[in-house]
Amino acid sequence: MGEAVVRLDPANVVGPLPRRLFGSFVEHLGRCVYTGIYEPDHPAADALGFRTDVAELVRELGPTTVRYPGGNFVSGYRWEDGVGPRERRPVRFDAAWQTVETNQVGTDDFVDWARGVGVEPMLAVNLGTRGVTEALDLLEYCNGRPGTALADQRAANGHREPHDVRIWCLGNEMDGPWQLGHKTAEEYARLAEETARAMRRLDGSLELVACGSSNRAMPTFGVWERTVLDRCFELVDHISAHAYYEPVDGDVDSFLASSEDMHRFIDGVVATADHLAAVRRSDKRITVSFDEWNVWFQQRSSDGGAIGGDDQVSVYDVTDAVVVGSLLITLLQHADRVAAACQAQLVNLLGPISTRPGGPAWRQSIFHPFALTSRYARGTVLRPLVRSDRIETTRYGPVDQLVATATLDSETAQIAVFAVNRSRTAELALTLDVAPPLPGQAAPAQYRLAEHVTVHDDDPGAHNTEQEPDRVVARPGSSSVRGRVLRAVLPPASWHCIRLAPVEPS
Ligand code: AHR
């Protein structure tokens, strides 16, 4: 059995938790939109054609921000096709995913859906096949006050009030040769600079995300960020990062340590941005928008057929859920420099929610760590001191067996601990204590266990299906709390959410 000791000091903090860390992503890809969130003929469809059973699961999942409409899709997208009367919208070939796009869902529809499920829309403009004009047009259409042609067009389409979209992505993965309109770093930097400058002329208070690297293994990683931020430093707020993880050649031990890569990725981007700040003698801190991340079996799909096909539902097992939980922990650990993050995607392909056309919707295993982290991570992210046994991985060398973070909700004084035992074979004995308050600091003298839930299974390949949708759920974990000390034994490959509540003095 491995051992780990954690000390939480409420005075040692990463910073306030940005709620946008719990973002998600709806792309016109596979069945995310059509027969995912939208299916007008479904018995559970609302008046706008959106599935209420899916909307209910989205509310339970708890994403805060949802990025739209892509992804690779946005790089060939003409937003004008997706607005106005549905019967007049053109059907087009989507060159990104090589499929047919009916445009029955577009920007207005997505914003309606987003507001309905209580999430903030995050829109991307097409900087692949299009440029400054179209980005400005979309911005005016969405956010303009009635009285100009495009804002009036929106009003005529049933949305008099501006959509007031605050956060915008300047294209998608423009560093990737697979991207429609792929560009060199210089070419993209120039276009992003001009687009950002023009968009800011319409609204100086927008938050803009420049494209960073599609993953940390891209040959241009680092140089891309430097080139883009060198031009756009004053014009953008965030730079994106994307990462998908899978067991490469069956190496599950390294897969369970995937958060190591995310951690190094964030550190690398932050170092690059801060170097540019130093050169400028600037106090500005560019933050990371980790606006695509998840487990994705690309090896498996390249063996087994084209992505973007019509009936794709990603099936996630317990190991995948543990990895997703550890990636969320990593995002929380970097809450001071990651301002937003989007799990890609929301429904069906790569989604925590699955649907059958005309049939039910159900939760994948990865739904649970996301929903619980979004629900219980509140307030301030603490910076725990962690001393953990190490385990060997082929890909990342020796890594801590324990990954952990915690948040402190100052309103309730509750502490939520999120922890993963990364070992596939060994249990982990965890001892966690909360440091006594500093002199003059009000803090509870004792805690009690409010709840401990875990995602773990003796069969790490267990997964949910339409027939058995609750095969994998979060179950009660076992731990004890005495005074300010928590003890728990974490089974191999397990994710945990442990909540400590203050004991009121009697
Ligand atoms: O999320 C699936 C795809 O992965 C996105 O469209 C693209 O941006 C990334 O490569």
CB 79 within 8 A of CB 134: yes
In the reported structure, the alpha carbon of residue 134 is separated from the centroid of ligand 1 by a whole-number distance in angstroms of 22
pLDDT band per the 50, 70, 90 thresholds, residue 445: confident
What would the mean pLDDT of 121-132 be, rounded to a whole number?
98
Nearest CA to ligand 1 atom 8: 71
Ligand 1 pocket member 94 (CB < 6 A): no
- For 9-13, 105-109, 426-430, which range has the lowest pLDDT when averaged over its residues? 9-13
**Could you say which DSSP state residue 45 is in?**
B
Task: Single out the catalytic residue among 27, 120, 173, 225.
Answer: 173
C-alpha–C-alpha distance, residues 308 and 433, integer Å: 48
Ligand 1 pocket member 80 (CB < 6 A): no
Mean model confidence pLDDT for the chain: 96
Ligand 1 pocket member 351 (CB < 6 A): no
C-alpha–C-alpha distance, residues 464 and 453, integer Å: 18
- Residues 247-265 have pLDDT tens digits of 999 999 999 999 999 999 9
What would the mean pLDDT of 341-354 be, rounded to a whole number?
97
In the reported structure, the alpha carbon of residue 70 is separated from the centroid of ligand 1 by a whole-number distance in angstroms of 7
- Residues 196-215 have pLDDT tens digits of 999 999 999 999 999 999 99
Q: Which ranges constitute the DSSP H helices of 257-404?
A: 259-279, 298-303, 318-333, 367-376
CB 41 within 8 A of CB 358: yes
CB 96 within 8 A of CB 73: yes
Ligand 1 pocket member 292 (CB < 6 A): yes
pLDDT, position 442? 76
Torsion of CA 317, 320, 322, 324, to 10 degrees: -130
pLDDT, position 308? 44
pLDDT, position 300? 59
3 is catalytic: no
C-alpha–C-alpha distance, residues 176 and 154, integer Å: 33
Which residues share a beta bridge with 158? none
Kindly report the backbone phi and psi dihedral angles of residue 486, in degrees, each rounded to the nearest multiple of 5, phi listed first.
-110, 135
pLDDT, position 311? 61
What would the mean pLDDT of 455-472 be, rounded to a whole number?
97
Q: Which residue has the tokens 């804002």?
A: 151
186 is catalytic: no
E-strand stretches of 338-484: 338-343, 353-355, 361-363, 380-382, 385-388, 390-393, 397-400, 402-409, 414-421, 428-434, 447-455, 475-476, 479-482
C-alpha–C-alpha distance, residues 32 and 48, integer Å: 16
pLDDT, position 301? 53
Nearest CA to ligand 1 atom 3: 71
- Residues 143-153 have pLDDT tens digits of 999 999 999 99
pLDDT exceeds cutoff 80 at 139: yes
pLDDT, position 440? 77
pLDDT exceeds cutoff 60 at 49: yes
In the reported structure, the alpha carbon of residue 340 is separated from the centroid of ligand 1 by a whole-number distance in angstroms of 17
In the reported structure, the alpha carbon of residue 363 is separated from the centroid of ligand 1 by a whole-number distance in angstroms of 21
pLDDT band per the 50, 70, 90 thresholds, residue 61: very high
CB 47 within 8 A of CB 367: no
pLDDT, position 436? 87
Domains of the chain, first to last: 2-10+381-502 (2.60.40.1180), 18-376 (3.20.20.80)
More confident residue, 299 or 57: 57
Nearest CA to ligand 1 atom 5: 71
Q: What atom of ligand 1 comes closest to residue 307's alpha carbon?
A: 2
- Residues 274-322 have pLDDT tens digits of 999 999 999 999 999 999 999 998 865 544 434 444 468 899 999 999 9
- 3-state secondary structure labels for all residues of 229-296: HHHHCCCCCEEEEEEEECCHHHCHHHHHCCHHHHHHHHHHHHHHHHHHHHHCCCCCCCEEEEEEEEEC
pLDDT band per the 50, 70, 90 thresholds, residue 400: very high
pLDDT exceeds cutoff 90 at 29: yes
Residue 78, burial from CB neighbour count under 10 angstroms (0-12, 13-18, 19+):
middle
What would the mean pLDDT of 27-31 be, rounded to a whole number?
96
